[in-house]
A and B are shown apart, each in its own frame.
Chain A
Amino acid sequence: MKHRYLPMTEQDQKEMLDVIGVSSVDELFEDIPEKVRFKGLYDIKAAKSESALLKELTALAAKNKDTNANVSFLGAGVYNHYKPVIVDHVISRSEFYTAYTPYQPEISQGELQAIFEFQTMIAELTGMDLANSSMYDGGTALAEAGMLAAGHTRRKKILVSETVHPEYRDVVATYAYGQSIEIVTIPHKDGVTDIAALKELIDDNTAAVIAQYPNFFGQVEDIQVIGDIAHEAKSLFVVSSNPLALGILTPPGKLGADICVGDAQVFGISEAFGGPHCGFFAVTTKLMRKVPGRLIGETVDGEGRRGYVLTLQAREQHIRRDKATSNICSNQALLALAASVAMTALGKQGIREMATQNIAKTRYAKNAFEAAGFTVAFQGAHFNEIVVKTNKCVKEINKGLIEKGIIGGYPLGQNYDSLKNHVLIAVTELRTKEEIDALVAEMGALHA
C-alpha cells in the first residue's frame, strides 16, 4: 500500500522476502494460532488525506470554547498564563521531541543538560536540595510523595489537608489503597488547614502530613506551623506547591518541607484539557536515594569534559524491578523542557513581577467583588485565587458568563458540601482591569 509514512515499494518487498526466504508476508505471521488470528480489517474510520483531516479536526477543535477567544477566570490547579512564544519554538525542535529517554548520553547531551537545568531551577524555586527530572503531573507527584513517606517512615497513615486540590487527594487515595495506607483528611477552618484538628489526628503511625501552598482556595497558609507539628511526630512534611507563587513566597524548603511537589504547567505549558502538564518532585538530600523517576547528574568524560548522565539508577524499575522506589518510566521530559524555557525567559526578575501581578490583580478583583456587594468567603492571605459566594448555582452563572465570552470560575460545591454556591475565581497576570470589572458586572447582573 502507498502511504506517505510507509516507504516500502513492491520491489523492496520482493527483495526482502527473498532474503528472508519466504514467499509472502503472511508466512511471517504463521506463528499466530489460527484460532486467534484476526482476519480482515479493523472497523474504524477510513483514512483521510492530510488536508481533509486537518479541515475536519480544525472544525472539531472549533466546537470548544477556548481560553484564547474567551476570557478565563478558571484556575483550580490549571492556569491561563503568559506563554513566551519562544517556548513552542524550542520544544518544536525535533532533536528534542523525537528523541527517546537519554539512554545514550554521548548523543543526548542536549536533553540531559536541559533537564539538569530544569532540576536546578525547580530546586531554586522550591528551596529544596534537589529535584528530579519530572513526574506525570502534580497529582501523581503528590501521590508518589505520600508513598515515599510511607516507605521511608515505615508508617501506614497519611494526613491530607482538605485544602489540597480535591482531584490530587483522589489520586493520593487511589495510590494509598494499593499500598494499604490509610488516608485521613484534616478539615479546613476558614479556608486553611485546621491546626487544632491536625494536632488531634496526628500520631506515631503518621507517615506524612500533606498541605498545599498556596492552597486550593488560593489561601496562603502558614505551612511552617504544619511542618513543625509533622516533625514533632517524626512524620515527613509534604508540600504541594504552585511554583509561580514561589517567586514571591518563602519556599517550602525554608519552611520545613521534606518533599515539595507540584505542577510546572504555570510555566509556558498549555492547559490542553488537563495534560500533558509537568509534575515536579523535590526533596532534601536525606531522601535523595528514594526519589522516584529519573535523575540527571553531572560528570566528566575520558578527556575531562563536563557531561551529563542518568544517575542513581539503582532506584529505578529497569534495574530494581519489583524493589524499585516507583514504577515510573516515561515522565514529562518535553514539558520539563518547556517549563525550563519559560522559567529562563521569566528569569530572576520576571518571575517576581509576574507573581506580584497575580496577587495584585486578585486583590483588585477581591475589592471589586466586595464593593459590588459579594461576599468573599475567606479573608486570609491569598495568591491568585479567591472564593466568592453567590446566591445561585455557580453552573447557572457560568452558563450566563460564557454567552458573554467569559469562562467562569470553578464551582466548589461539587467537592465541598459547605461551599455550595461558592465559586473559585482565578485572576492571572493576563486578566486586565477591564476584564475583571466586566466579570464582576456580569456576575452582578446574573445575580439580580
Chain B
Amino acid sequence: MHNENQTLIFEISKEGRVGYSLEALDVPEVDLGDLLPTNLVRTEAAELPEVSELDIMRHYTALSRRNHGVDSGFYPLGSCTMKYNPKINEAVARLSGFANVHPLQDESTAQGAMELLYDLQTSLVEITGMDEVTLQPAAGAHGEWTALMMIRAFHEANGEGHRNKVIVPDSAHGTNPASATVAGFETITVKSDETGLVDIEDLRKVVGPDTAALMLTNPNTLGLFEENIIEMAELIHSVGGKVYYDGANLNAVMSKARPGDMGFDCVHLNLHKTFTGPHGGGGPGSGPVGVKADLIPYLPKPVLVRTEEGTYHFDYDRPQSIGRVKPYYGNFGINVRAYTYIRTMGPDGLKAVTEYAVLNANYMMRRLEPFYDLPYNRHCKHEFVLSGHRQKKLGVRTLDIAKRLLDFGYHPPTTYFPLNVEEALMIEPTETESKETLDAFCDVMIQIAKEAEENPSIVQEAPHTTVVSRLDETRAARTPVLRYQKA
C-alpha cells in the first residue's frame, strides 16, 4: 500500500546533490563567526531538500498531474468565476519592464508601470460607476476590510463614531462578517425572504442610528438580482449608513448595472474572478476598492494621481487617509493581467461577457430543473443554486453528488453554500464555456440524479477514479500533521 503514496520532495533528497547555480564568490571570503555574534550563527542547517534540477521538474510535474485547473476541464464552482485565464495576460505580466521593476525605485523610472495602473483605475471607475479607485488591496476580503475601514473613518470624521453595526444578509460570503469584525464592527444578520432576496421588512427592523453600513452582493449568492436595491439603499442612507457592494459577482452585471448607479457608496472587485487573473490554486488575488466622492479623503495611502504635466505620482499627502493597507501598491502582477484583459475585451467584449455568462447559467438551470430541486424559480444571473433535497431523501447527499462528478473529470459546483439552501449546489458556468461543454456536464448531472434513484451506492462511494479516494478530514483535524518530519 505504501508505495502508492506520492513521494514528498524530502523523501527523494540525497546528501550531496544540488539543484542550483551560483557564480563563484568574487570578493574575499568571510568567516561568519567574525561578522556575527556567536549566538546568532546558525549551527543546525535547515533541512531543505538536496535534489537535482531534473528531480525537481519531475516532482512538480507529477504533482501538477494530480491537480485540476480550468485548463484541465470544466470548473463550474459557484461564486468563484472560474473562466478561462488568457495566455497573453501571462506574457504581459512577465515582460521584464513589468516583472523586474522595484516598487521603491524613483517614480521617474517607473512611469510605464504607473501609467498602466492609472489607466486600470480609470477603467474600473467607469465599470463600477464610482468616483475613485484604489488598487492597493491584495484580495477580495482585503478590499472588504479596506472599504469598511474607510466607512468607519468617514463616520468618525462626522462625529458619528458610535455607528458600530454592519448589516450582512444571511446569504453573504463568510468574508463579509469576518471583515466587519476585523474592522472593529459588530455584524447583524438580515434574513432572506421566500423569494431569495433580502427581507426588506427584516432590514427595516435592524437599521438604526447605530448602522454603519449594509454589505450586499448583487446579484446575491443565489445568483438573483436584488430587485429592491434602490429601496434598500435609500433606507440605509436615510439613517446615515453607507451601502457596500461586494463585487464577487460582478461578472453578472457588467454593462447592465453599475454599483455606483444602484446607490452603492463603495465596492470591491475581485480582479482574479471577473477580470481573469488566474486563481493560482488559492491566490494571488487583487481586490481594488472604488468609492463615491465623500469617501475619497479616506482612501489608503498612497493614492496614484496624474499630474498636470501628464506624469504619474504617488500622493502621500492625504491627512484623512485610513493609512496603508499593504506594503507598496497592491498585487501589481495581477493588476497587469486584469488590465490586459480589459484591453483585450473592450466595451463590446465586456458586455458580451455578462450576456453570455447569464445566458449559459439560465440554460443550465433550465436543463437541470426537472432533475434537481430549484428553490428559487426565476431567471438567474451568472449562477444558480440547486438543492439536493430530493436526492438526500434517497440517501444521496450533495457531497456525494460532488464527489461523483470527479469521476467524470469535472470540478464540482460550490456545495453547502449559500447557507439558506438545504444541500446547496451552486453552479457558475462563466461565458468562456461552450454549449457542448455545458450539455456534457448537464448530461452527467442528469445521469447522477438517475444513479441516486437506481444505484445510490455508486454515488455514495464516489469518487472511483481519482488518485486518492475520500480523505479522512476528521483525522487531519484531530491529530494535525502540518509538516514533514524526517522518520
Contacts and interface: CB of A to CB of B under 8 A. Distances in A.
B61 interface: yes
Interface in A1-18: 1, 3, 5-8, 12-13, 15-17
B101 A66 contact: yes
Interface residues of A, number: 207
B349 to A, nearest CB: 5
B102 interface: yes
Interface stretch (B29-37, B202-210, B237-245, B445-453): B29-37
A68 B332 contact: no
A117 to B, nearest CB: 5
B39 interface: yes
Given A38-B261, A110-B67, A78 B104 contact: yes
B104 A74 contact: yes
Contact of A360 (B25, B92, B284): B25
Interface string B299-335: 0110000000000000000000011111111111110
A178 B80 contact: no
Contacts of A360: 25, 27-30
B141 A329 contact: yes
Contacts of B152: 178
A82 B20 CA distance: 10
A441 interface: no
A334 B281 contact: yes
Contacts of B71: 94-95, 98
A354 B23 CA distance: 10
Interface in A318-361: 318-324, 326-335, 337, 341, 343-354, 356-357, 359-361
A298 B8 CA distance: 12
Interface in A296-317: 296-309, 311-314, 316-317
A261 to B, nearest CB: 12
B256 A38 contact: yes
B340 interface: yes
A5 B482 contact: no
B200 interface: no
Contact of A101 (B48, B140, B281): B281
A6 B432 contact: yes
B332 A106 contact: no
Given A8-B359, A33-B229, A327 B175 contact: yes
A165 B326 CA distance: 12
A28 B271 CA distance: 25
Given A44-B126, A106-B406, A119 B41 contact: no
B181 A106 contact: no
Contacts of B48: 121, 124-125, 343-344, 346-348, 351
Interface string B455-475: 000000001001111111101
A203 interface: no
Contacts of A381: 35-37, 40
Contact of B19 (A17, A27, A84): A84
A425 interface: no
Contact of A16 (B18, B57, B82, B363): B363
B280 interface: yes
Nearest to A276: B284
Contact of A220 (B36, B106, B285, B484): B36
The 6 closest A-B pairs by CB, nearest first: A274-B328, A47-B346, A61-B97, A63-B112, A334-B280, A274-B103
12 contacts: A5-B344, A31-B378, A42-B127, A82-B20, A114-B63, A121-B46, A272-B101, A318-B173, A322-B180, A328-B139, A330-B279, A348-B50
